[in-house]
Amino acid sequence: MKRLIIICLLLPLLAFSSDRTTSNIMNKREQLFKQGISAYANENYVLAIELFHQLETEQIVSWELYYNLGNCYYRQSELGRAIQYWEKAKILAPIHSDIEYNLSIAREHLIDKVVLPDTFPLFTWYNTMQRHLPLNVSIRIIGILLMLFVLVLGGYRLHARKTGRSCKGICITIGSLFLAVMLLLTIITVDTAQKRSHEKRAVILEESVYILSEPADDATVLFILHEGSTVLINKDIENEWANISYFDDKIGWIRMEYLGKIES
Amino acid sequence: MVIRRRHFTFIFIFCLMISGLWAQRVTLTASKATFSIQEQIQLVFTFENIKNSPRSVDLNLHKSFTVVGGPYSSSNYSWVNGKATSSNKVIYDVIAKKTGKIKIPAYEFSIKNHVYKTNPFLITVRKTAAPGSLAEGQEMPGIYMETILPKDKVYQGETFTLYYRLYTSEQVVNYTTNPISTMDGFIVDRFSLQDSPSSTKKVINGREYLIAGIASLTLTPTESGEFILPAKPFRISVKRSGQHRSAWDDPFFGNTSKDINIVAPADTLTVLQLPGGAGSAFTGAIGDFTMRVSMDSTLIQENQATTLRVDLIGHGNMEHFTFPEQTFSDDFELFEPRVKNAYKLNGQDYKGQRSWEYVLIPGKPGTYQFDDILFTYFSLSQGSYKTLRMPLKEIRVISHNELEGDYISSLSPDEVRLLSQDIRFVQMGENHRVHLDYNAVKDPGNRVWYYLALAIAAFVIFAEILLALRDKNRNTIRYKNALKTAITQFRKIHTDQSAEEILTQIETGFQTYLSDKRIVPARYPEINDILKTIETYKYAPGSLSHAVLDALKEKALTIIEEIEKA
C-alpha cells in the first residue's frame, strides 16, 4: 500500500518533469528558429539554412520552417531548392498567400515553361480545389457536417415521437443539403488524399540536366530539364536512379541526386 | 345615193382630222407666277393632240433653277361633243437659285416635221420668308426652313456640318427628304435626317414657332473656290386643323394630315486653299490634335518583334488623312502599320482617336536610335500649322547568345514587371508544428467530429430503442409502477389544500392505481365501499372535513397495501 501511495505521489512529479523537458525542447527550438531569422535578416543565408535544417532533423516540422528554408535558398540563388521547400510548405498550408506569392515569383525564373491549354471550367475548378484544399480542414468540415446531419435526423425522430407532429419537409431539406455538401467534399477529399499519398513529386536541383532513355550514364539523351522544373517520380532504383515524367507525356531517367523530393 | 353617202362620210372624217390638227400645240406653265425662294414649284409642258410627244425636256435652266424632281409624265384622253382630244404632260419640280424676276425662255419642239413653240414668260422669286427680310405688310409663313452654315469660309479639307432648321407654327407629324450622297467639290461624309430632333419655341414677328434642326449634312471640300450649296427640298406632313371631314372621306383610314413641299434655301460658301509651308509631316490633317507615342519594349532579342504605337487624339477631319510615312533603320523589318479608329462624327467634325501600330523586327543586335516622330496639322483654333514632336527611346537589340543564363532578358514586359518585386519576408514563428510523417487523415484531432457524430447517432438509436420498448410494454410498466404512482399522487396531498381538492386527489390516486393494476372494483367490496364513500362526499361536500379525508386516505392506502401483499 505504501508503495502504491509513493508511486501515486511520484506520478505527477514525473509528468511535471516530462512537461518540463518538452517545454525545454520547445524553448530551444524557438531560440534556434529566432537565430535562423536573425541570420536571414543579416543576410547570412548559409547560417540561416544550417539553423533551419537543424530544426528539420528533430522530426518536427512546420510550414513556416519550410517557407523560411525556401526563402534562404532563393536568396542563395538555389532556385530548385527554394521551390522544393516552398512546395513542402504548401502541402502543410495549401492556401497561405505568402507561399503562393513566392512560388509565383520563382516560377517566372523557370526556363522550362509549359503553357497548358484551357480545360473545361469544371475540371479547372476541381483541380484548383484539389491544389488548395487543406486536408485537415476538409476532414474536419466533413466531420462537422456529418454530426449536423445526424443531429437533424435524430432531432427529427425524437421530436416526432415526443410531440407526435412531423416536420419531415424541413428536416429532409436541411438533411439533404448537409448530405450533398458532405458527399461532394468527401469525394474531393478522398481523391486528394489518395493523390497526395501516391504522388511523389520532385524538383530539378541542377541548372540543366539530361533526361535519359534508361538508367545508365551513357544512355540516349531524351530531353533536357532545367533547375526548378517539377517532375513526378514514377519509380526509383535503389535510390540512385529515378524514372520521372514531365507533364505526363515526357518520361525518362535521371540520377536521384539531381532531384529534391517534395513529398518525403 | 350610195355614192353621195360615201362623199358625206369622207368629208366628215376630213373635217374631224382638220379640226384635230388645228388644236395641236405645246404650252409651258409654272405652278406659281410669284413665290419665295424657299418654295418648290412645278414647270409643266403640255403637248395637246400631239402624238409621239417627248418624255423629257432639256430645260437648260441650271443658272436659275435646281431641278429636284422629274420629269414626271401623264397622259389624258377625252371625247367632248364628238371631238377627241389628247394631252401629254411633262412635269419638273424646280427650286429657284436666286431671287428676282426670272425669264422662262421659249422652248421649241420639232415633231414629225412640225415645229411647236412655247411662249416665254416671267416669274417672280421673292426673298426668303425669314423675319428680317419680310416686306411691309407681308405675312409670316406658317412653316419655313433655314440652312445654317457654321461659317462662310472653310479650308479645303476641313470637315464641317451644316444644319437644316425647320420653323413651324403648325403641328408637324412627319418629314422626309431624299438623302444627299454626292456633291460637286465636296466629299459627303454624312447626311442625317433626325428622327426625333430636340425643339425650342420662339416668337418671331408676333407668331410662335417651333424650331427644330431636322437634318444635317457633313461635308469636306476637295476643291477651293466659291460654291453654292444647293437648296434642299423637304416634304413636311402637317396635321390638318379646323377642317371638317366630308362624307366622302374614308371613315377608317381618312387622311388627317397634308403634305407641304418646302425648301431649305441655297447658300454660298467660300472654300479657301490651305496656306503653304506645311512641311513633309503634313498629310492633310485639319483640326486640333495631341499625340502619344509608346513602344512595348526597348530591350529585345534579335528577330523578336516590338510594336511602336502612335495615338492621335482630338477633333477634325480624322477620316481624311493618314499618318506621315515613318522611316526606320534598314536593320529593321517594317510592316504596314495597323490602323485602329475610334472616332465618330460629333457636332461639327470627327472626334476621337486614331492609332497606328508599327511592328518592328530587328535583324541584327545593336543599339538603335530613331528620329523623332513628327506630325503636322493645320490648327483651326490658331489658323496656322502646328507640328507635334515625340522623341523615341533607343532600342537595344541583343543576340541569342547574350541571353543564355540571363533570365531577365528573356522575359516579357509583364514578367519583368513581376520580377521587379521581391519574395515575401520569412515567417517569424511556428504556429502549428507537426511530426515529419504527419498525415492529416490519421490525425486523431481531425477525427473528433466523427466520434461526436457517432456518439450522437448512438444516443439517438439508443433513445429510439428505449422509447419503442416503453411504448410496447406500457401496460406492464404501469402495472409494475402502480404503487409508486399511487404513493406519489397521495404525497401531493397537503393539509393547506381545500377539502374538495384533497378528495379529487384521493380519487385520482386510487382510481389510477386500480386502473394500472387492472382491478375491477365490483369484485372487491372494500374497494367498492371506498369508491362509494368518495361519490357520497362529492355530492355532500358540506360533510367533508380534513379528519374525514385523512381517514379516507388511510383506508385507501391500507387497501392498496393489502392488494400489494396479496
Q: What is the pLDDT of residues B463-496, one digit of tens each?
A: 888 888 888 888 888 888 888 888 888 888 887 8
Query: Is the domain of B143 the same as that of B267?
Result: yes
The residue segments making up the domain with residue A39 are 23-108
Cβ <8 Å between B450 and A143: yes
Output the average pLDDT for chain B.
81
Q: Is the pLDDT of residue B100 over 50?
A: yes
CATH number of the structural domain spanning residue B157: 2.60.40.680
Q: For the residues B387-392, what does the mean pLDDT come to? A: 88
Can you give the residue range of the structural domain that contains B59?
Answer: 22-126
pLDDT of residue B409: 47
How far, in Å, CA of A13 to CA of A6, rounded?
11
B261 and B191 within one domain: yes
The kind and range of the H/E element at A97 are helix A97-108
Distance CA B168, CA B38 (A): 14
Residues facing residue A261 across a β-bridge: A202
Q: What is the CATH number of the domain that holds A253?
A: 2.30.30.40
Q: Does B426 touch chain A (CB under 8 A)?
A: yes
CB neighbours (10 Å) of residue B549?
Answer: 21
Query: Of A198, A219, A236, which residue sits at a domain end?
Result: A198
Contact assessment for residue A48 and residue A72, using Cβ atoms and an 8 Å cutoff: yes
Taking contacts as CB-CB distances below 8 angstroms, the residues of chain B near A229 are none
For the stretch B167-183, pLDDT in tens is 888 888 889 888 888 88
| Proportion of chain A above pLDDT 70, given as a percent | 91
Whether residues B66 and B187 share a domain: the answer is no
List all residues 6 or more positions away from B511 whose beta carbon is below 8 Å from its beta carbon: none
Least CB–CB distance from B426: residue in A60, A62, A68: A68
What's the pTM?
Answer: 0.42
Q: Measured between alpha carbons, how far is B187 from B321 in angstroms, rounded to an integer?
A: 13
pLDDT given for residue B419 in this prediction: 44
Q: Is the same domain home to B206 and B109?
A: no
Can you list the pairs that B184-187 forms with residues at least 24 positions away whose Cβ atoms lie under 8 Å? Answer: B185/B221, B185/B222, B185/B223, B185/B225, B185/B227, B185/B271, B186/B219, B186/B220, B186/B221, B186/B222, B186/B227, B187/B219, B187/B220, B187/B221, B187/B222, B187/B320
Q: What would the pLDDT profile of B274-288 be if each residue is shown by its tens digit?
A: 998 888 889 899 999
Element (H, E) at A8: helix A2-41
Is the domain of A180 the same as that of A128?
A: yes
Contact B457 A150 (CB under 8 A): yes
Could you tell me if residue B193 is inside a domain? yes
Question: Å from A189 to nearest chain B CA?
Answer: 10
Say if residue A170 is in the same domain as residue A235.
no
What three-state secondary structure class fits B130?
coil
pLDDT tens-digit series, residues B230-269 = 888 898 888 876 555 554 455 554 567 788 888 888 888 8
Of B418, B422, B436, the CB nearest to A59: B436
CA–CA dist B72, B88 (Å, integer): 11
Q: Indicate the number of domains in chain B.
A: 4
Tell me, what's the pLDDT at B405?
47
By Cβ distance, the residue of B407, B449, B467 closest to A161 is B467
A30 and A101 housed in the same domain: yes
pLDDT reading at A153 higher than 50: yes
Q: Is residue B485 part of a domain?
A: yes
| C-alpha closest to that of B356 among B396, B392, B324 | B324
Q: Which of residues 446-475 of B touch A (CB under 8 A)?
A: 446-450, 452-453, 456-457, 459-460, 463-464, 467
Residue A233 in contact with residue A263, Cβ under 8 Å?
Answer: no
Residue B445 domain flag: no
| Residues of chain B neighbouring A37 (CB-CB closer than 8 A) | 426, 428
Q: B261, B288, B57: which is closest to B159 by C-alpha?
A: B288
Do both B152 and B223 map to the same domain?
yes
Last residue within a domain, chosen from A149, A166, A198: A198
Contacts of B417 by beta carbon, 8 Å cutoff, 6+ apart: none
CATH number for B51: 2.60.40
Q: Which residue of A has its CA nearest to B410?
A: A111
Å between A193 CA and nearest CA of chain B: 8
Quick check: B508 and B489 in contact, CB under 8 A? yes
A27 and A97 belong to one structural domain: yes
B63-80: average pLDDT: 82
Instruction: Clarify whether residues B219 and B194 are in a common domain.
Output: yes
Do B427 and A68 contact (CB within 8 A), yes or no? yes
- Sign of the torsion formed by the C-alpha atoms of B132, B137, B142 and B143: negative
Q: What is the DSSP string of B202-228?
A: EEETTEEEEEEEEEEEEEEE-S-EEEE
What residues of A are in contact with residue B442 (Cβ under 8 Å)?
none
Query: Count of domains in chain A?
Result: 3
Q: Could you tell me the CA-to-CA distances from B92 to A152, B64, B67 in Å, in that order?
A: 93, 14, 7
pLDDT-above-90 percentage for chain A: 42
Distance in angstroms between the alpha carbons of the first and the last residue of chain B = 168
Confidence of residue B12 (pLDDT cuts 50, 70, 90): low
pLDDT digits (tens, 9 = 90+) for B189-241: 999 998 888 888 888 877 888 899 999 999 999 999 888 888 888 988 888 76
Q: Is the dihedral of CA B3, B8, B11, B16 positive or negative?
A: negative
Tell me which chain A residues have a C-beta less than 8 angstroms from the C-beta of B460: 150, 153-154, 157-158
pLDDT band for B54, please (50, 70, 90 cuts).
Answer: confident
The answer to whether B429 and A27 are in contact (CB under 8 A) is no
Spatial CA neighbour of A156 closest among A144, A141, A174:
A174
pLDDT in tens, B320-338: 998 888 888 788 877 778 8
Do B490 and B525 lie in one domain? The reply is yes
B420 touches A at CB < 8 Å: no
Sign of the Cα torsion A179, A180, A181, A185 reads positive
For testing the chain A interface, which of B403, B449, B459 should be mutated: the one with the most A CBs within 10 Å? B449
Say how many Å lie between the first and final Cα of chain A, rounded: 51
pLDDT of residue A131 exceeding 50: yes
What's the confidence (pLDDT) of residue B408?
45
* Residue A186 confidence (pLDDT): 92
Asked if the peptide bond before residue A134 counts as cis, ω within 30 degrees of 0, the response is no
Q: Rounded to a whole number, what is the largest CA-CA distance in chain B?
A: 169
A148 and A84 belong to one structural domain: no
Is residue B421 pLDDT above 80, yes or no? no
Q: How high is the mean pLDDT of chain A?
A: 86
Are A188 and A218 part of one and the same domain? no
**pLDDT, position B129:** 53
